[in-house]
Structure 1
């Protein structure tokens, strides 16, 4: 009986390993021309079929990161001049990030959206108008999400479409409803929470933000980090934080979608 249980356990572990490999494709990042830069250590292609919702602050599971691996994510942009400063800091360190963009801002600053993409960052979605989704009717929430996706796609590619090139979405304020979560999952869109954040929406200085973030990272040791490129304090803090990551042995993991075009079509 014990031997049979062991065989069953081995089978389950094997199946889990296959699912993991199918859900996350890993490649090495390209080399960085900047001397002594942080760089981007590797690239993970995330499949919504295996990781529909990630971020331990919001959901039961997160991405399978090793100790000292971090994913940089930014919300609420694009918003000059702060987003420009964030992009400059990332470029200086050859670090790639994921930007969850507000559709209304993307329509206002499409060149900045295209600049993000040209620098190799992943362009994701954060609604049209940044509402509290639980405080509005389902149809209105659905329309706001779809309009946001269409605006980002138009800014990025010059053509409005409800099919996101990158099927990654983060709810404003992390405020979701079961119905909207289910709809995004049915479309093959990964919903992102976060594993830790810098509380950069609070009235704090860049120095205080850096202290908060590094102290939290010392405890967590890895994870999906939430920042806001629209915030001036974050733009001012970011160069020092990237230096901290480099000096303390952290590695940047860049996220890209797996099978985005096939899985993210808008349902009729």
Structure 2
């Protein structure tokens, strides 16, 4: 039985990798206004919500055959894609209600939305006229949201055989859903980088900005940093920051025989090295973890920390400016949540300052890493 399940998972993995969807990014230069006030953030937020809702509504008319063709898959979990759509609609309605609170200040993209039926109606007829101040944004945004929706639908179609951040397995898994409106948590995966590298730069930059983030460290990389420098230097590296674990190696924890050892070994290392910085959070590489792991994580006193805003800054994905613009667009769409960058990648060094500069006057808040997921 275990062999059969592993073979099925391998087939699905190959199926998933056969026709990857294009990674979505949007040139924010097509939007004609700076996000220089909370009200202008809301204008852009309303626009992105309506455009995404328009794409989401259109996708519901596709049958299984059309959806398989669209996503490049031979097998789909229709129940999971339907559940994803339901959750997306609920989030969009909540977000639009927040975004329309400033309609008295600026009425752009303001429509009467009091119920789900209202939102679906407005999404169905949403269109930007050719003489609109926002026309240059419309077509690129439509493309972005169609591609981004494909990313989400594809992950849902493969869930739970290939797990990802698109859905949770239980209450022990957290993704920022409970955050207040306009509140975001910065997180970094895959580190630490070698000494004097990207992790050092990012942690120092955050301290200068009087900000913090959660760094999910790999046990093997952290052990190497200690061996090549010292405990004191590693402690200084993460001063003022939070450190969780991503396991001992950056590999899927869904079918790895020693996945439990990977989690416990790396968590013990972080906790022993940096008890003041340690947070009891595990970030699964690739978002992949076992559906039956809740008991294990609860016994270890750990929560699984997922995300809902992916920078796509890994090698072969987006460039730094594209990554920053993708994150900003998703912040406008989701209005709260967990942002993930990779501190081993130089792209984050460019993307993060761009992101902070673009949102400096927009009324956003940055979640203290010590308070997140308590």
- TM-score relative to the length of structure 1: 0.66
Distance of 1:99 and 1:241 partners within structure 2: 18
Task: Say yes or no: does 1:108 pair with 2:224.
Answer: yes
Counterpart of 1:40? none
Post-superposition shift, 1:228? Answer: 1.0
**Cα–Cα, structure 1 residues 82 and 225, in superposed 2: closer, same or farther, change >3 Å?**
same
Distance of 1:149 and 1:53 partners within structure 2: 17
Post-superposition shift, 1:245? Answer: 2.8
Counterpart of 2:243? 123
- 1:129·1:148 contact (CA, 8 Å) conserved in 2? no
Higher RCO, 1 or 2 (CA under 8 Å, sep at least 6)?
Answer: 1
What RMSD over aligned residues (CA atoms) do the two structures have, in Å? Answer: 2.4
Unaligned 5+ residue runs, structure 1? Answer: 1-49, 56-61, 158-163, 261-268
- 1:78·1:112 contact (CA, 8 Å) conserved in 2? no
Distance of 1:257 and 1:70 partners within structure 2: 12
Q: Deviations over 1:40-87 (max 9, x none)?
A: xxxxxxxxxx962111xxxxxx44212211011111111031111211
Task: Say yes or no: does 1:147 pair with 2:268.
Answer: no
User: What SS class does the counterpart of residue 279 from structure 2 fall into?
Assistant: coil
Task: Say yes or no: does 1:199 pair with 2:317.
Answer: no
Q: Which has the larger radius of gyration?
A: 2
- 1:77·1:99 contact (CA, 8 Å) conserved in 2? yes
- 1:104·1:151 contact (CA, 8 Å) conserved in 2? no
Q: Deviations over 1:200-259 (max 9, x none)?
A: 11522211111111111111111111111111111222112122232322111113279x
The within-5 A match list for 1:1-268 is 52-55=172-175, 62-80=176-194, 81-110=197-226, 113-118=234-239, 120-137=240-257, 140-156=258-274, 165-203=278-316, 204-256=318-370
Unaligned 5+ residue runs, structure 2? Answer: 1-169, 227-231
**Farther-moved stretch of structure 1 (63-72 vs 104-113):** 104-113
Post-superposition shift, 1:112? Answer: 5.5
Distance of 2:340 and 2:313 partners within structure 1: 9
Post-superposition shift, 1:165? Answer: 4.4
Task: Identify the structure with the greater helix proportion.
Answer: 2
Distance of 2:362 and 2:250 partners within structure 1: 35
Distance of 1:210 and 1:71 partners within structure 2: 15
Distance of 1:173 and 1:219 partners within structure 2: 23
Counterpart of 1:28? none
Q: Deviations over 1:180-211 (max 9, x none)?
A: 33300232211111021111115222111111
- TM-score relative to the length of structure 2: 0.48
Counterpart of 2:9? none
